[in-house]
């Protein structure tokens, strides 16, 4: 991997870890909040059952600037991590974080993971760099500048294609945080692909009558997963879920 264009450091968009690693992010990312959620609160590791073990294969879908991938690499160096991020500026920071900190167990890929119905999709940029989405429901959400919603075209890849392209026999842990695209990602996956994923932790988003947490829960149970769902709170159209293949 070639070295990416280096981001300028600002007090709002970088952390220096105790081991000397420097992590960067675009300025519009709520970086301190996200760092706290991943590194301090362990939001994607809800229980001991979801521990990432020696030599595990991890998919980080909706990797943003790579905080979860980096946490895995630092804490389980033997794990293989495949990180996928759709937004070009977030991917730039992800690639820089992997390159500059010599995190060789992480491979970073600039794709929107989707259902494969199109080679490219429109990414709708959100109020900040943590809530971009390929879902059309996000088209009318406020932009960071309060004006017209900015967009970009992004290449797509499916779960089945990820496993084929990178010769992944099984996925020990998949983190899924992609602002509503979780439905098309999972619902379009062939059953043999789903059966090669042991654990999934991520966010779900209540979008429509056909795409909400209850529908996702039923789908996962029907496909052999034991699940736990936790709503973010009253009036909040999202929550967290965890699933283990039984």
Separation between Cα atoms, residue 31 and residue 14, nearest integer Å: 8
pLDDT-wise least confident of 84-93, 123-132, 231-240: 123-132
Residues 125-136, mean pLDDT to the nearest whole number: 82
Give yes or no for a contact between 189 and 161, defined as CB atoms under 8 angstroms apart: no
What ranges in 103-230 are assigned the alpha helix state H? 159-165, 182-187, 191-194, 213-222
Instruction: Say which CATH superfamily domain 33-112+171-245 falls into.
Output: Vaccinia Virus protein VP39 (3.40.50.150)
Boundaries of every domain in the chain:
33-112+171-245
Question: How many C-beta atoms lie closer than 10 Å to residue 181's C-beta?
Answer: 26
Predicted confidence at residue 113, as pLDDT, reads 98
Confidence of residue 7 (pLDDT cuts 50, 70, 90): low
Predicted confidence at residue 120, as pLDDT, reads 96
The pLDDT tens digits for 88-114 are 999 999 999 999 999 999 999 999 999
């Amino acid at each position: 991997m070639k070295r990416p264009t280096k981001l300028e450091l600002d007090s709002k968009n970088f952390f220096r870890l105790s081991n000397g690693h420097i992590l960067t992010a675009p300025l519009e990312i709520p970086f301190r909040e996200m760092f706290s959620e991943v590194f301090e609160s362990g939001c994607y590791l809800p229980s001991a059952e979801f521990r990432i073990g020696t030599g595990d294969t991890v998919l980080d879908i909706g990797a943003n600037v790579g905080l979860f991938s980096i946490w895995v690499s630092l804490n389980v160096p033997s794990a293989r991590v495949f990180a996928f991020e759709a937004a070009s500026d977030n991917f730039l920071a992800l690639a820089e974080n992997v390159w500059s900190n010599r995190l060789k167990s992480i491979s970073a890929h600039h794709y929107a993971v989707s259902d494969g119905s199109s080679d490219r999709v429109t990414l709708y940029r959100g109020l900040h760099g943590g809530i971009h989405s390929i879902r059309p429901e996000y088209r009318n959400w406020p932009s960071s500048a309060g004006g017209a919603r900015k967009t970009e075209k992004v290449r797509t890849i499916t779960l089945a294609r990820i496993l084929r392209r990178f010769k992944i026999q099984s996925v020990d842990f998949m983190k899924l945080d992609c602002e509503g695209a979780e439905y098309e990602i999972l619902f379009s996956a062939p059953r043999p692909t789903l059966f090669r994923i042991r654990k999934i932790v991520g966010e779900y988003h209540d979008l429509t009558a056909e795409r909400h947490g209850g529908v996702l829960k039923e789908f996962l149970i029907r496909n052999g997963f034991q699940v736990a769902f936790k709503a973010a709170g009253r009036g909040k159209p999202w929550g967290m879920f965890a699933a283990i293949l039984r």
